[in-house]
Amino acid sequence: MARKVPIGLISTNMKQLRYYYLLLCLGCLVACNSCETDPNGTTGNGTTVTPAKPKSQAPDFSADSAYAYVKKQVDFGPRVPGTPEHAACKDWLVSSFEAYADRVIKQEGAVQVFDGKKINFTNIIASFNPEATTRILLCAHWDTRPFADHDQDPANHQKPILGANDAGSGVGVLLEIARVLKSNPVKIGVDIVLFDVEDYGQPDFAPGPRKADTYALGSQYWSKNPHVGGYQAKYGILLDMVGASNSRFRIEGYSNQFASNIVQKVWSIGNELGYGFNFPYENGPPIQDDHFYINTVAGIPTVDIIHLENNGYSTFHSSWHTLKDDMSVIDPTTLKAVGQTVLTVVYREDRGEL
Question: Is the peptide bond between 167 and the residue preceding it cis, with omega within 30 degrees of 0?
Answer: yes
CA distance 31 to 35: 6
CA distance 344 to 191: 16
Q: What is the pLDDT of residue 11?
A: 40
Sequential pLDDT tens for the chain (354 residues): 333 333 333 344 444 444 444 444 444 443 444 444 444 444 445 545 555 567 878 999 999 999 999 999 999 999 999 999 999 999 999 999 999 999 999 999 999 999 999 999 999 999 999 999 999 999 999 999 999 999 999 999 999 999 999 999 999 999 999 999 999 999 999 999 999 999 999 998 998 899 999 999 999 999 999 999 999 999 999 999 999 999 999 999 999 999 999 999 999 999 999 999 999 999 999 999 999 999 999 999 999 999 998 765 568 999 999 999 999 999 999 999 999 999 999 999 999 999
Question: Which pTM does this prediction carry?
Answer: 0.85
User: What is the three-class DSSP state of 128?
Assistant: strand
CA distance 13 to 211: 91
Buried b (16+ CB within 10 A) or exposed e, 214-240: bbbbbbbbbbeebbeeeeebbbbbbbb
Q: Do 35 and 303 touch, CB atoms closer than 8 A?
A: no
Q: What is the pLDDT of residue 208?
A: 87
Instruction: Show the beta-strand stretches assigned E in the chain.
Output: 103-112, 118-128, 135-141, 189-195, 235-240, 302-306
**Cα dihedral across residues 126, 129, 135, 138: positive or negative:** negative
Amino acid code (one letter) for 83: T
Domains (range + CATH), the chain:
63-350 (3.40.630.10)
> DSSP string spanning 4-42?
P--HHHHHHHHHHHHHHHHHHHHHHHHHHHHHPBPTTSB
- The dihedrals phi and psi of 292, each to the nearest 5 degrees, come to -60, -45
β-pairing, 135-141 with 103-112? unpaired
